[in-house]
């Protein structure tokens, strides 16, 4: 997999995501993390750090050394393995494995995404949960998902192949720059099947971290799959 978060992207990541809510995510995850938490695509620690500050044993996996370097500027207390979240292992097991902000879509094949769920299940204690925050695929070939003075975001989607490319146009130091990142869109139902194939079952699904109901109008979902207790 290519590291799309190297260099300047990693250096700017915290500033670029400062608008994203943290407290509702941590509040949702905390009750599930009594036996420790593993974050897939841990990045700069936007979620992992607040969890650790609340006393949770947190570990991470991330593909990008530069993103982890940004995390290391804040703490050395969170162990992180550098590698692909579909195959990379960390020591021990956890009551919670989670991935936020569509990061599972960075794995751009069906086999790879299925392997992410298998890897999550392998790290879970019996009775533990895997939580994912994922966008619901739209049906439009082109969709503007952000339109601001300093950022314009356009999604390009191929329904046949499930290939999704997010084009980001950002105004940086007076000049517009484009960054295009490939993803693989995946439906909630397809994720449910992947989970079942590795022995997990859907426990709950919400529209957002505030536990608002998931409906046909929802544009994303926060889903919880449980590994059955022995």
Comparing 98-102, 123-127, 142-146, 214-218, which segment has the lowest mean pLDDT? Answer: 142-146
Burial class (CB in 10 A: 0-12, 13-18, 19+), 217: exposed
Instruction: Please state which of the four CATH numbers 2.20.25.570, 3.40.718.10, 3.40.50.300, 1.10.3210.10 is assigned to the domain occupying 138-185.
Output: 2.20.25.570
C-alpha 82 chain-centroid distance = 16
As annotated, the residues of the chain forming the CATH 2.20.25.570 domain(s) are 138-185
Joined tokens for residue 53:
């500050």
Task: Evaluate the CA torsion angle 117, 144, 9, 20 in order and state its sign.
Answer: negative
- Using CA atoms in the order 121, 42, 48, 114, what is the torsion angle rounded to 10 degrees? -20
pLDDT in tens, 174-210: 889 898 889 999 999 999 999 999 999 999 999 999 9
Q: Using 50, 70 and 90 to split pLDDT, how confident is the model at 146? A: confident
pLDDT in tens, 15-58: 888 889 999 999 999 999 999 999 999 999 999 999 999 999 99
What order of strands is seen across the sheet that includes strand 80-82?
Answer: 80-82, 58-62, 37-40, 94-99, 124-135, 220-226, 201-206
The residue written with tokens 């995501």 in the block is 17
Note the pTM of the prediction, 2 decimals.
Answer: 0.92
As annotated, the residues of the chain forming the CATH 3.40.50.150 domain(s) are 8-136+187-226
Whole-angstrom Cα distance, residue 202 to residue 22? 24
Instruction: Please state which of the four CATH numbers 3.40.50.150, 3.90.470.20, 3.20.20.220, 3.90.79.10 is assigned to the domain occupying 8-136+187-226.
Output: 3.40.50.150
């Amino acid at each position: 997999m290519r590291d799309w978060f190297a260099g300047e992207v990693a250096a700017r990541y915290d500033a670029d995501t400062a608008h994203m809510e943290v407290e509702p995510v941590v509040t949702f995850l905390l009750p599930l993390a009594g036996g420790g938490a593993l974050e897939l695509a841990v990045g700069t620690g936007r979620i992992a750090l607040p969890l650790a500050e609340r006393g949770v044993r947190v570990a991470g996996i991330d593909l990008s050394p530069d993103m982890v370097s940004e995390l290391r500027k804040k703490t050395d207390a969170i162990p992180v393995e550098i590698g692909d979240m579909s195959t990379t292992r960390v020591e021990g097991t956890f009551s919670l494995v989670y991935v936020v902000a569509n990061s599972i879509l960075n794995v751009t094949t069906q086999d790879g995404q299925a392997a992410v769920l298998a890897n999550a299940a392998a790290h879970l204690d019996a009775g533990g949960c895997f939580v994912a925050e994922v966008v619901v695929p739209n049906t439009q070939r082109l969709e503007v998902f952000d339109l601001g003075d300093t950022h314009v975001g356009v999604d390009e989607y191929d329904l046949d192949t499930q290939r999704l490319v997010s084009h980001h146009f950002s105004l940086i130091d007076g000049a517009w720059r484009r960054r295009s990142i490939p993803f693989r869109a995946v439906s909630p139902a397809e994720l449910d099947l992947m989970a079942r194939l590795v022995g997990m079952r859907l426990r709950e699904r919400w529209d957002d971290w505030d536990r608002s109901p998931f409906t046909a109008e929802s544009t994303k979902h926060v889903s919880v799959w449980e590994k059955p207790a022995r």
